[in-house]
Structure 1
Amino acid sequence: MSILYRLGTRDSALAMVQARRVKTLLEKICYDDKIRFEIVPLKTIGDVQTQVPLWQIPGEGFFTKELDTALTEKSVDFVVHSYKDLGFTRPSNFCLAAVSRREYPYDILLLRTESAQALLKGQWQNKEFIIGTSSPRRTLVDSPFLEKYFSLKNPAIKVTTKNLRGNVPSRLRKLLSGDYDATIMALAGLERLALNDQEALPSLEALTYLVLPLSECPPAPAQGALAIECRSEEKDKNSDLFKLLTQLNDRLARFEIGKEKEIFHAYGGGCHLPLGVYAKSFDDFYLINSRGVVDGKTVLQRDIFPTYQVIEKRDPSPLFVGLPQEKGKHLLSQYQTRAIVLDRLLEKRPIVDAKVTSIGNKIFYITSSYCLLALEQSNFYNGDEIWSAGVKTMFSLFKRGYWVHGSASLMGESELVELSSSMFLSLFKGKHLPCYFFSHSKAQTSLGKIVPCYEHKIVPTTLIDHDLSNVKIFYWTSFTQYKIYKEHFPEIIDNPESFHACGLGKTFKRMREAGVMVTPFFSIEDFLERFQLS
């Protein structure tokens, strides 16, 4: 006798894609040909009432209530949700059987290419830049960041938002028709459509994009993941259905999203709370990045757990910060309660004959402001995709007239590895584009070809008068810097009392691989704020 399991889902194009994907995965892991799965599409109030912002619709569960009813009444056996649509508290008769692997948690700004060019040329003066969205978080977190960014070339610009609801294709068509200057969407949803229902997307030929940096624009909790729920009785009796569903569970995504949901709930956690929360595990740490507005007050929480090495905050010894004199001198006056020693050993000297041999579309990854000279003096940039290593470099590039498509501002190169495989992003310029990595002469990357833009040179006189004898706390800006200092000051660097710190990206990875006990920080500023005397 055959067994039929009914999968409940919203009937939107994206939700149907997600449901078909889950159905396909279940069919692959189910070896019993007598078991079948059927998708049951359901229309929710959130799908019907698209003319008003969600926050104006009374009650909660705009995209879940009808699915909850169907599951309770047993007209379906399990349901698939976009996990970000689910509240923190769920009915006691439901069980979260699985959380899917998380994909592309980013927000993405989509706009017409002509609008991007006008922004680059400083032509968006004294008028509004209207972003279509119904999300309070995108209104109060993403939009202020974009206003700050665009104002570098357009000082009088005012970024505002206007209600935009509906399914993904209809929102894109409204953008293309000029109803809005831009829209912000979840990259994960666009990716699923690009992979599974590309015909549903209108032509993207007239558009370009900016993947918003996770460090500045954290997503909604659980953005990018699916939640699969069944009735609790299935878990209680450890049914065949429950055992099948749990095989789709991603333990890491479940852990990270659990942290996000806890923090969101602690702030009040209503479905319209304008708060982004992002948790990410790496090595044996995990980070929390939260931004938003709660009860009229700005929320900014950036933490990394756990911290294995603890240095007494009131230790009066100087701090070493691996910035050169010209880039770090502002820190000497900004943080006056503790001595700061900057990098006087190494000079970064430009290499101006950078070469790129590929023709056609390319991707440029700019790791530092020291690479800007090589980019500007070259003649091989032709409107190619540009990505930056951090937000500061992203701002510098935009100010110089380059459209930046995204910034690996939180986790560094590992973010680019993930984004480089995006089907949706490939619809703009093509797949498998050659990547050029603008960095220093000894840099390493798995992404493509290194374009050496500067080299590290030792200042001979510094070897004599660079006093590190009292320094016990070091913040390294690159693994190369650490290695050179270790070579010339081994007794100080190898001191068992030394505390080593760095950012979250490749420097951290390479130092851990080299066996260095290093503690990661979001930024130099976060490091200094921790160790300054109160």
Structure 2
Amino acid sequence: MADMLLKGQDKNGNGLKNQTIRVGTRKSQLARIQTDNVVQMLQNHHPHLHFEIIGMTTTGDKILDTALSKIGEKSLFTKELENALERNEVDLVVHSLKDLPTSLPPGFTIGAICKRESPHDAVVFHPKHVGKTLTSLPEKSVIGTSSLRRAAQLKRTFPQLEFKDIRGNLNTRLKKLDEKDDFSAIVLAAAGLRRMGWENRIGQILSPTECLYAVGQGALAVEVRARDQEILEMVSVLHDGETVLRCIAERAFMKHLEGGCSVPVAVSTTLKDFQLYLTGAVYSLDGSESLRETMQMNVKFPLENEDGPNDDIQHVGITAKNIPHGAQKAAEKLGLEVAELLLSKGAKQILNVARQLNDA
């Protein structure tokens, strides 16, 4: 079905022949693996182009002694990359989509969203607890997570456990887990562990009933200058129709709630027989209060009559000319409607209190 959501795509790279395309990325091992994967896909589609990868350090990579939610900067892992894009030092940048704010700076757009890896959260256990689950851990066991979203949901589901902030890249966090006795387990994105080749460390995958995931989690995004039509056209071959529609709904939901990493907002999406389902939820910091709703929307739209005035339309920062505009519009509407439903039931109050407590 994902293929049916995509128009035919140009593999000729337009007028970019023999050019070197500079690709910006964070320097962490996971970011480099993700960027190498994206560049390899682009190389397969555009064999005549040369790609050069340029690594950079972001604010989020530098500040390792403070919880992400307390730094108060929305573009922690993206700002330096976007600055390089603005200065024409790179032609495109590769991000984990969940790191990208729902409102991009003027002049930028997400030109491609690759097929999503598992969006779920995974539990990695201390070597002495291998084979256990969160339910079977001893009472008062300490679980490490840098995410308010994970902590709020897991406190609610596993009240017998304790939760403590843990920062650093994947390598650093696993080292802290394995070499000390501070944590019985840590919670990470399954996608990152799989991309690093560490699937054998996953002791438990959290289902949406236990822990809804982050907006855009598991998907890779390619950000470009919105006016750079040749680059936009070149990267658009990577769009995965199903992933794009799911992520548009998720991002629209979060944007309407004015959510970010400083408040616990969570989602789950599925696309089946052209019906897009979105579950959205908000939580208090301790998980004691929550609102959760599921809605669906038909996203089956014809491909014809799609060119022309719709060409430069973005949906929550995403430009996807090769996916039916009507389908994208429906996905965005679904996100807005789930957010509106939660707001009508008091989501604003829960999020405001969460934000104030986190800021304090």
- TM-score if structure 2 supplies the norm length? 0.72
Q: Which runs of 5+ in 2 are unaligned?
A: 1-16, 299-360
Give the alignment of 1:319-468 within 5 angstroms: none
Higher strand share: 1
Q: Which residue of 1 aligns with 2:295?
A: 303
User: What per-residue deviation string (whole Å, max 9, x for no partner) do you get for residues 368-426 of structure 1?
Assistant: xxxxxxxxxxxxxxxxxxxxxxxxxxxxxxxxxxxxxxxxxxxxxxxxxxxxxxxxxxx
For residue 25 of structure 1, report the CA deviation from its aligned partner: 0.9
Query: Distance between the aligned counterparts of 2:133 and 2:204, measured in 1?
Result: 13
Task: State the match for 1:139 in structure 2.
Answer: 151
Report the alpha carbon displacement of residue 51 of structure 1 after superposing the two structures with TM. 1.3
Partner of 2:338: none
Is 2:39 the partner of 1:36?
A: no
1:54-93 aligned within 5 A = 54-93=68-107
How far has the Cα of 1:252 moved from its partner?
Answer: 1.4
- Distance (whole Å) between structure 2 residues aligned to residue 44 and residue 245 of structure 1: 23
* 2:243 corresponds to: 253
How far 1:183 sits from its partner (Å)? 0.3
Question: What is residue 216 of structure 1 aligned with on the other side?
Answer: 210
| Alignment partner, residue 190 of structure 1 | 193
Query: Cα deviations across residues 338-394 of structure 1 (Å, max 9, x unaligned)?
Result: xxxxxxxxxxxxxxxxxxxxxxxxxxxxxxxxxxxxxxxxxxxxxxxxxxxxxxxxx
Deviation, 1:169, is: 1.3
Give the conservation status (yes or no) of the 8 Å contact 2:110–2:223.
Answer: yes
Q: CA deviation at 1:291?
A: 2.8
| CA–CA distance in structure 2, aligned partners of residues 124 and 259 of structure 1 | 39
Distance 1:266 1:120 in 2: 33
Deviations 1:301-329 (A, max 9, x none): 122335xxxxxxxxxxxxxxxxxxxxxxx
SS in 1 for 2:175: helix
2:72/2:262 contact within 8 Å kept:
no
Where does residue 221 of structure 2 map in the other structure? Answer: 227
Kindly indicate whether the alpha-carbon contact (under 8 Å) linking 2:22 and 2:53 is maintained by their aligned counterparts in 1: yes
Match of 1:9?
25
CA contact (8 A) 2:282 2:292 kept: yes
Structure 2: how far apart are the matches of 1:187 and 1:87?
A: 21
* Residues 221 and 264, structure 1, Cα contact 8 Å, conserved in 2: yes
Query: For the Cα contact (< 8 Å) 2:126–2:183, is it kept in 1?
Result: no
Quick one: distance in 2 between partners of 1:36 and 1:25? 13
Judge conservation of contact 2:145–2:165 (CA < 8 Å) in 1. yes
Shift of 1:270: 2.4
Residue 119 of structure 1: how far off its partner (Å): 7.1
Provide, for residues 47-104 of structure 1, a one-character-per-residue CA deviation record: whole Å limited to 9, x for no partner.
Answer: 1111110112132211011011010011111000100001111112112110110110
Change (3 A) 1:123 1:73: closer
Bigger mean CA offset, 62-71 vs 112-121? 112-121
CA-based RMSD: 2.4
Partners of 1:99 and 1:284 in 2: CA distance? 19
One-letter amino acid matched to 2:65: Q
Q: Report matched runs for 1:44-193 at 5 Å.
A: 44-112=58-126, 114-115=128-129, 124-125=138-139, 128-147=140-159, 158-177=160-179, 178-193=181-196
Secondary structure of the residue aligned to 2:156 is helix
Higher RCO (Cα < 8 Å, 6 or more apart)? 2
SS of 1:96's equivalent? Answer: strand
1:280 aligned to 2:270?
Answer: yes
For the residue of structure 2 that corresponds to 1:16, the secondary structure is: helix
Match 1:21 to one of 37, 56, 60: 37
* Alpha-carbon distance in 1 for matches of 2:109, 2:137: 53
Where do 4+ consecutive residues of structure 1 move more than 4 Å? 116-123, 294-297
* Ranges in structure 1 where 5+ consecutive residues have no aligned partner: 148-157, 307-534
The residue type equivalent to 1:209 in the other structure is G
Identity score, percent: 30
**Structure 1 range deviating more: 109-118 or 19-28:** 109-118
Cα distance per residue 1:137-162 (max 9 Å; x no partner)? 01101342234xxxxxxxxxx31211
1:202-231 Cα offsets, whole Å, 9 max, x none, are xx6xx6611000233111000000110111
Note if contact 1:256-1:280 (Cα within 8 Å) is conserved in structure 2: yes
Return closer, same or farther for 1:220/1:242 CA change in 2, 3 Å cut-off: same
- Whole-angstrom CA distance in 1 between matches of 2:130 and 2:241: 40
* Alignment CA distance shift 1:262-1:122 (3 Å): closer
Distance of 1:70 and 1:212 partners within structure 2? 37
Question: Is the partner of 2:227 in helix, strand or coil?
Answer: helix
3-state SS of paired residue (1:233): coil
- Greater C-alpha Rg: 1
Displacement after TM superposition at 1:294 (Å): 5.5
Q: Once the 2 structures are TM-superposed, how far is the Cα of residue 117 of structure 1 from its aligned partner?
A: 6.2
Q: 1:217 and 1:258 mapped to 2: Cα distance? A: 21
CA contact (8 A) 1:267 1:294 kept: no
For residues 272 and 171 of structure 1, the distance between their equivalents in structure 2, rounded to whole angstroms, comes to 21
CA distance change for structure 1 residues 68 and 121 in 2, over 3 Å: closer, same or farther?
closer
Mapped contact 2:131–2:203 kept (Cα < 8 A):
no
1:297: how far off?
4.2
SS in 2 for 1:247: helix
Q: Which amino acid aligns with 2:106?
A: S
The 1:84–1:141 alpha-carbon spacing in structure 2 relative to 1, beyond 3 Å, is: same
CA contact (8 A) 1:104 1:224 kept: yes
Distance 1:108 1:234 in 2: 38
Matching residue's letter, 1:54? L
